[in-house]
Amino acid sequence: MTAQQPLTYDVLVELATADPTVVGLVLKGSRAHEGMSTRHSDHDLYVVIADDVTTGLTRLAGHRTPELDLVIVSLTEFRAAGTPGFERYALARAQIVLDRLDGGIARILADKARLDADEAFRDASGWLDAYANSLYRSVKNHRDGQALAARLDATDSIRFLLELLFALDRRPRPYNKYLEWELDRHPLPGWDTDVLLRAVDRISATGDVSLQRHLFTLVETAAREAGHGGVLDAWGEDLDLMRP
């Protein structure tokens, strides 16, 4: 871009829309989450190029300024982006700026927003075991007078808990920044959002053991209903320490 025409979001969208090799533009991040952008928010944009073509826009790959952060990928690369990976939630809630594939870009994003059944079951089993492990360590450390260790393990358990709850609903876990936004608009089935967030807040801050145990009873019920009883039963008598 020239000094007279800096590469802003609007300029990039105009350039990409005029380029027939571009099959999709996808906005992610704060500006894709209604009410979450601030004066510090940039535009995080995927530019999706048709496979096996060349375009002058590739010269902008890696462009990053306080105004605009570009990721330029082929359609094949875009299909694979974030599955698995930290980027999956960002794409699951991204906004479509341009879709030249008759809804193809929208279908790709929809697929990223929904874990397939086998993937979700496998992930949930792993997160459930990790959650139980950190919860058990927290309660045991509290019992043994290890206050700091108990709180740290409690905080760790919350990370695994959230991964578990979203996996049970076959959804990627949102970044912490968007947790309240996500639950306000897309609550987890069977969970009271306000109650869950208050519990997450208090346990993270204090390691409250009685609350951890109460929360575990709710998680245990949900996990067993989803077919993960074997993961819990493998803990044997140690479950008694986790329950009220």
How confident is the model at residue 85, as a pLDDT? 80
> Is the CB of residue 118 less than 8 Å from the CB of residue 125?
no
pLDDT of residue 32: 95
Whether residue 15 contacts residue 51, with contact meaning beta carbons closer than 8 Å, is answered with: no
Per-10-residue mean pLDDT of the chain, 244 residues long, equals 71 96 97 94 96 94 93 96 87 97 97 95 98 98 98 98 98 97 97 98 98 98 98 98 97
Look at residues 165, 221, 219, 212 and name the one whose alpha carbon lies nearest to residue 189: 165
Please tell me the pTM assigned to this model: 0.92
Over residues 43-85, the pLDDT tens digits come to 999 999 999 999 999 999 989 999 999 999 999 999 999 887 8
| Beta carbons of 46 and 26 less than 8 angstroms apart | yes
Q: Which pLDDT value is given to residue 5?
A: 64
